[in-house]
Amino acid sequence: MPGRAILSPHEEIARAAAEIAPIPRGDDGEPVFREPWEAQAFAMTLALYERGLFTWPEWAGALSAVIKRGQAAGDCDDGSTYYQHWLSAVEQLVSDKGIVTEQALAKRRDAWDRAAHATPHGQPILLENDPLR
C-alpha cells in the first residue's frame, strides 16, 4: 500500500494489542518483561504469526476476550497479569484453530509444573527436569 510504513512483526503485534491492552514498555519504548517466560510467550506469538497460523486481528480478539474474562473474574488489572493473559490467549487461539488440543496443552502445563517443582531454586526451569519425562 503506497505511503504506508512497513512494520516489523514486533511493531505489528504492538499495534494489534494497543487498542485492547497496550504492551508494557520501558522508557526506551521497548517491551518490558519481568520474567523470561514473558519474553518467550511474546516471541512464541511472533513465531506463530510469522508461520501464518493467525492474523493480528484474530490475535487481538483472542487477547481481548481473555482480558475481559479476567476482569469479569476480578483480575487486579494492574498489569501484573498481562502476560498470563497473553499466554492464555495464545493457548486459546491455537486450540480453537486445531493446531494443538486442550489435552496436549494440559499435558505440557503439567510437565512444566513438575519440572518447576523439581528444579533447584535459582536454576532455569527446563522440561528435562520433569521427573516423569
DSSP secondary structure code for residue 25 in this structure: B
Q: pLDDT tens-digit profile of 81-103?
A: 889 999 999 999 999 999 999 99
**Structural domain boundaries, residue 109:** 101-133
pTM across the whole model: 0.75
Q: Do 55 and 117 sit in the same domain of this protein? A: no
What are the residues whose beta carbons fall under 8 Å from the beta carbon of 121, sequence distance 6 or more? none
pLDDT for 118 beyond 90? yes
Q: Do 107 and 74 sit in the same domain of this protein? A: no
Q: Is residue 3 part of a domain?
A: no
Greatest C-alpha distance within the chain:
56
Q: Do 84 and 124 sit in the same domain of this protein? A: no
pLDDT for 13 beyond 70? no
Q: Is residue 2 part of a domain?
A: no
Neighbour-count burial of 105, counting CB atoms closer than 10 A to its CB (0-12 exposed, 13-18 middle, 19+ buried): middle
Q: Do 19 and 77 sit in the same domain of this protein? A: yes
Q: pLDDT tens-digit profile of 25-47?
A: 888 888 888 888 899 999 999 99
Q: CA 61, 67, 72: angle at the middle one, nearest 5?
A: 125
